[in-house]
Amino acid sequence: MFNDIIDNMPGTTIKKSHVHGFGLFSESTFPLGQLLATLEGQIVPWQLHKEKQLTKEWNALPNERVLVRPYRTKYYYINHSRTPNLVIQRDQDDKLKIITLRGVSVGEELLLDYREEPLAVSYLSGHGETYL
């Protein structure tokens, strides 16, 4: 079922989630501040992505831009929570890094607070408003 997923987060596995659908879970213990992944892709304007639906996997960047990926990765399965154990950090080159906010135990679901991304107003007042 998940054979076509790019494994960009070693030490993790996709399983049924109590939060939503499927989620990404730790197969290892991760300490506070552990880099789990660096997200790569193409940077495009939010409006272009919205109009063309370029991909289902994306991250918001400042200035109404998004980082899109043409293939599904393990990152796609990280669910939203207002009490996350992960955070996205952006460097000066718009590289996005997934870092642990605290120690993570084996079997724990990996969660991000999607509200921390610089989401476009049109997203927040549309689809995003339903679950954020």
Q: Is the pLDDT of residue 87 over 60?
A: yes
pLDDT band at 129 (very low <50, low <70, confident <90, very high): low
d(CA 89, CA 119): 15
Q: Selecting from 1.20.1250.20, 3.40.50.970, 2.170.270.10, 1.10.3470.10, what CATH number does the domain 12-117 have?
A: 2.170.270.10
- pLDDT for 12-34, tens place per residue? 999 999 999 999 999 999 999 99
The domain locations on the chain are 12-117
Question: How much is the mean pLDDT over the chain?
Answer: 88
| Contact by Cβ (8 Å): 74, 89 | no
pLDDT of residue 85: 98
pLDDT of residue 90: 85
CA angle 63, 64, 65 (to 5 degrees): 95
Where do the H-state alpha helices sit in 1-132?
46-52, 121-124
pLDDT of residue 4: 85
Closest by CA to 105, choosing from 16, 30, 13, is 30
Strand 42-45 with 111-112, pairing: unpaired
Q: 2-11 burial, b if ≥16 CB within 10 A, otherwise e?
A: eeeeeebbee
Q: Is the pLDDT of residue 119 over 70?
A: no
Q: Please provide the DSSP assignment of 103-124 as one string.
A: -B-TTPBPEE-GGGS---HHHH
Residue 17 tokens, joined:
């989630």
